[in-house]
Amino acid sequence: MGVINHIKKIRIEKGITQIRMAEDLQVTRQTINAIEKNKYNPSLELALKLVDYFDVPIEEIFILEEDET
């Protein structure tokens, strides 16, 4: 059970650096890096900002992994 994301993939595709993303989204570079490395999930607020930032559907960025029985 948990959430994984495809932020790094999307960021690279768009040719954006972690540094620029952090500035644009008003968080630190370490936050972007940690989320890309799936160290933890973004807050809902940051997740929604990421959706707006990349302009892609949320399902293309964040995947809710179901509990495998």
Which residues make up the interface to DNA (CB under 7 A)?
A: 17-19, 26-31, 33-37, 40-46
Residue 2 sits in the site that holds a second copy (CB under 8 A): yes
Q: Check residue 57 and report its DSSP letter.
A: -
Q: How crowded is residue 47: how many other Cβ atoms within 10 Å of its Cβ?
A: 17
Among DNA, a second copy, none, the one that 31 touches (CB under a kind-dependent 5 to 8 A) is DNA
d(CA 49, CA 55): 9
Sole binder of a second copy in the list 8, 10, 33, 41 (CB under 8 A): 41
Handedness of CA 12, 64, 46, 59 (dihedral sign): positive
d(CA 65, CA 45): 20
Among a second copy, DNA, none, the one that 58 touches (CB under a kind-dependent 5 to 8 A) is a second copy
Q: Which positions touch a second copy (CB under 8 A)?
A: 1-3, 41-45, 47-49, 52, 58, 62, 64
